[in-house]
Amino acid sequence: MNGQATERASRGPGAAGWLQGLACGAVVTLATPSAVLGGLLLAPGFGALLLDREPGRPAGRVALLCGAAMAAAPVGALWQAGLGVGAAVTAASDMSVLAGCWAAQGAGWLVAQLAPLLLRLILDAHAQASMARLRAERARYETDWGIPPAEGS
């Protein structure tokens, strides 16, 4: 290594390090109110995500997605209001906003739990109806063509 490179390396990162620190501070300043509001509004969805043990965590993901859809308007209003932590706590303490987000997450979780059961019931009913229709058609063919009934039918 030449002398200049060694001298630069011993001084530290220089202006780039300061700029990275400044950018990180700006991100933390801007993200904190959004994180506070998002954390309060999406708490049930994060809980469902943590407690869901199925592969892919479908119930937790659906709950979080429904909550995020309901939380979009309050987060947008926070950004328009100036991104203060006080404004974030005020927005999250509005019971209509909080109840709406939490209810959406609960409904999403419930749908994710009930959808497989309802789908199974519908498919079983369809299969039973198809079997009954096929048995009736088979019986009609047996009488029309004079075929003896098959065993087990």
Q: What local confidence, expressed as pLDDT, does residue 126 receive? A: 98
Q: What local confidence, expressed as pLDDT, does residue 15 receive? A: 76
In tens, the pLDDT along 10-60 reads 565 667 778 888 887 777 777 788 888 888 999 999 999 899 898 989 999
Q: Residue 103: pLDDT above 90?
A: yes
- Give the number of residues written for the chain: 153
DSSP 8-class letter at 152: T
Indicate whether this model's pTM tops 0.85. Answer: no
Tokens representing 99 are 């109840």
Beta strands in the chain (DSSP E): none
Q: DSSP alpha helices (H): ranges in the chain?
A: 3-11, 15-41, 43-51, 58-81, 85-93, 95-145
Query: SS3 of 106, please?
Result: helix
In sequence order, which residues have a C-beta less than 8 Å from that of residue 69 and are 6 or more positions away?
104
In tens, the pLDDT along 65-93 reads 999 999 999 988 888 888 788 888 888 88
Tokens representing 11 are 């001084």
Tokens representing 85 are 């932590």
Tokens representing 127 are 């299969």
Distance CA 152, CA 146 (A): 18
